[in-house]
Chain A
Amino acid sequence: MKENPVLEVSNLKTYFYLENNFVARAVDGVDFTIHQGETLAIVGESGSGKSITSLSIMQLINKPGKIVDGTICLEGDNLLTKSSKQMTKIRGNDIAMIFQEPMTALNPVYTIGSQIVETIRKHKNLSKHAARERVIELLNLVGFPRAKEVMNEYPHQLSGGMRQRAMIAMAISCDPKLLIADEPSTALDVTIQAQILDLLMEMKERLNMSILLVTHDLGVVAEYADRVLVMYGGQIVEETTVEAIFEETKHPYTIGLLESLPSLEKEVKRLGAIKGSVPPAYLFPKGCRFADRCPHVMDQCRESNPELLSIAPTHKARCYLYELGGGHSHDNRAKTTAEQKI
């Protein structure tokens, strides 16, 4: 692993202040690092805080939400101390973002060309003509065979996959160091999804970017990520390499998630569903946030929330099962009991 951190997030807390003095702790103490050229995936279900984490990095959190604590350092520079004017310069230039639904992310009343030209001219000192040339080059790069015509077309004239390509062209237009892709392929059909994700990875190699891939799809994680963060209830519950997340799964939530996934390779009679559903962010229990749904819940879990523990050099999990046993000898404890249950 190249030890060259691009983004370091530590103790990030983003809370939403709701009516009746409810506080939704959407992101609650998240730490992670993305290295240069790395693809880090954040997986989780809806309400886990994965999207709010990525929006917090871009500082796109609006009222009633607020980043209440933590630091977000881009190459050592804390973004949370920047003014909104300085942030505007960073967004799109150093950090770019791709959203799930390209139809809502693109402006319907401007042509594709003019929207990308606007982005480039905002950040780079280029003439209109030079910017247009650059856009044609970018559109070719992301796989538009008729780039010149697409320049003058509106978003509604393109298909979903093509719009997402246009979004990628816009995102990479200023050579960002970090690209945040928030569910980039979820709205697309499988055959198109593969095209878009392959394109994203090709661009990553070519421009030496880092990618923060936010997704709910574990298959996408397995194929494209280097490292994985599993989020639940606004916190990271497991963090490790992509191989270890599937082969040496530790946290009961991750195990449950993998078992609820129907697979093309193996046949199961019944899926191992996790009982219950994600608690709302303003009603987290005081102990472990997964306690109510966990098949291995102990008294201790209801008392206090476990820390994110290192159980191997590249493996962390937030679970008391691994604290008690003291690590390696009980590595597969959760997994074997889960298997017995089935």
Chain B
Amino acid sequence: MTIEQKQLQNKKSEQEQNNETIMQASHIKKYFPIKGGIFKHTIGHVKAVDDVSLSIKKGETLGLVGESGSGKSTLGRVLLRLLEPTEGEVIFEGKDISHLNNRKLRAYRKHMQIVFQDPFASLNSKMSVGELIEEPLLVQTSVSKPERKQMSVELLEKVGLRANDRAKYPHEFSGGQRQRISIARALALNPKFIICDEPVSALDVSIQAQVLNLMADLQEEYHLTYLFIAHDLSVVKHISDRVAVMYLGRIAELAPKEQLYQNPLHPYTKALLSSVPSTNVREKREKIKLSGDLPSPANPPSGCVFRTRCPMAHDRCISEIPALSEMEKGHFVACHLYE
């Protein structure tokens, strides 16, 4: 076999691998009860995630955007099984984990990790950096102490910190460095799937770029799959392969990034993209203005949840919930305009 053939074969097997689904969510609902009255009856539900289905392929980055209250973080926590879904299935590598108990889940935990938004709140301030990074190894594996130390040093160097930072405490680091520590900690168990919940939104632009570059490098090196949750559309565009747009607990549009950004179909996606301030001072884009605020997820509008702010809303939107349907290959949209 010539080298070229070999490369071709490698490429093929890579592609096959690329099409393998690592995480499949179908018809996920997560309702939080609202308690009221003297006996704390359930008087309603906050429908944080309402009938969401998506699949994440091995090695890709799926971006999840939406405004605050759209349910993107809740969805992330359900996929990780930090929350149990009210309805629906979460399938990780072919195994339904949606209702496993904590003990059985532990075997899956090491394959799935999360990096949180606020590196000031997510690191225990009383633990040294070494302890923080070694903790997952201590809980999940039977690696000996010197080996753990060795591994934490390697991880620190991997994320651009120094070996002698092991003995320091989180308060001695800046925001960007702390986020590096969180990433090292998430990588400790060599996971397959990482949820990044607004990992760079608390950081300054120059630091944000450093962390985004680091995350892209690590993805390549460790063949990681990311679910990247963020509200910043330009950041999501930079890092993602496919992007899902959420609005009030539902997916409005899901598409490969080029299609989503160049040819958005859903009126909400269009409005969202047009509201991002552009650094192009010569050509001003036409802005689609949305009036009003996000409705309360405790009492979402009937039919299409976006209809109260949609410039194109018509009668059908009030009565019927639009289904997420495929318009072109891989491009899904939930809107009556395209049916």
Residues of A within 8 A of B (CB): 45-46, 159, 161-162, 189-195, 197-198, 216-224, 242-243, 246-247, 256-265, 268, 270-275, 277-278
Contact = CB atoms under 8 A, between A and B. Distances in A.
Contact of B208 (A161, A260, A270, A272): A260
B118 to A, nearest CB: 14
B275 A264 contact: no
Residue among B213, B276, B279, B284 with most chain A CB within 10 A: B279
Contacts of B163: none
Given A218-B279, A262-B234, A268-B238, 7 more contacts: A194-B289, A220-B277, A258-B279, A263-B234, A265-B278, A271-B209, A274-B209
Interface string B73-115: 0000000000000000000000000000000000000000000
B205 interface: yes
Interface of B: 67-68, 174, 176-177, 204-210, 212-213, 216, 231, 233-235, 237-239, 261, 271-273, 275-282, 284, 287, 289-291, 293-294
B184 to A, nearest CB: 17
A265 B279 CA distance: 9
A162 B293 contact: yes
B278 A277 contact: no
Residue among A159, A222, A263, A264 with most chain B CB within 10 A: A264
Nearest to A217: B277
B293 A216 contact: no
Given A194-B289, A262-B238, A223 B206 contact: no
B204 A262 contact: no
B213 A219 contact: no
A73 B238 CA distance: 44
Contact of A45 (B177, B206, B234, B238): B206
A120 B205 CA distance: 39
A194 B275 contact: yes
Contact of B280 (A259, A265, A275): A265
A260 B205 contact: yes
A194 B287 contact: yes
B206 A219 contact: no
SS class, residues of chain A in contact with chain B: helix
B129 to A, nearest CB: 17
Contact of B237 (A217, A243, A264): A264
B271 A223 contact: no
B212 A262 contact: yes
A222 B234 contact: no
A194 B235 CA distance: 18
B209 A260 contact: yes
Contact of A216 (B204, B231, B261, B273): B204
A271 B278 contact: no
Given A45-B205, A194-B287, A277-B174, A270 B276 contact: no
Which 4 A-B residue pairs are closest in the complex by CB-CB distance? Answer: A219-B277, A260-B209, A262-B238, A273-B209
A224 B279 CA distance: 11
B275 A242 contact: no
B277 A272 contact: no
A192 B293 contact: yes
B67 A264 contact: no
B273 A243 contact: no
A194 B289 CA distance: 8
11 contacts: A45-B207, A189-B67, A193-B277, A195-B290, A197-B277, A222-B280, A223-B284, A256-B206, A260-B206, A262-B209, A263-B278
Contact of B207 (A194, A197, A224, A277): A277
A330 to B, nearest CB: 23
Contacts of B176: 277
A217 B232 CA distance: 11
Contacts of A260: 205-206, 208-210
B233 A190 contact: yes
Contacts of A263: 234, 278-279
B289 A222 contact: no
Contact of B276 (A159, A190, A258): A190
A278 B206 CA distance: 10
B216 A270 contact: yes
A220 B278 CA distance: 7
A218 B275 CA distance: 14
Given A190-B67, A194-B287, A263-B279, A271 B238 contact: yes
A193 B275 contact: yes
Contacts of B281: 222, 242-243, 246-247
Contacts of A216: 204-205
A189 B280 contact: no
A264 B234 contact: yes
A273 B280 contact: no
A159 B213 CA distance: 35
Residue among B231, B261, B293 with most chain A CB within 10 A: B293
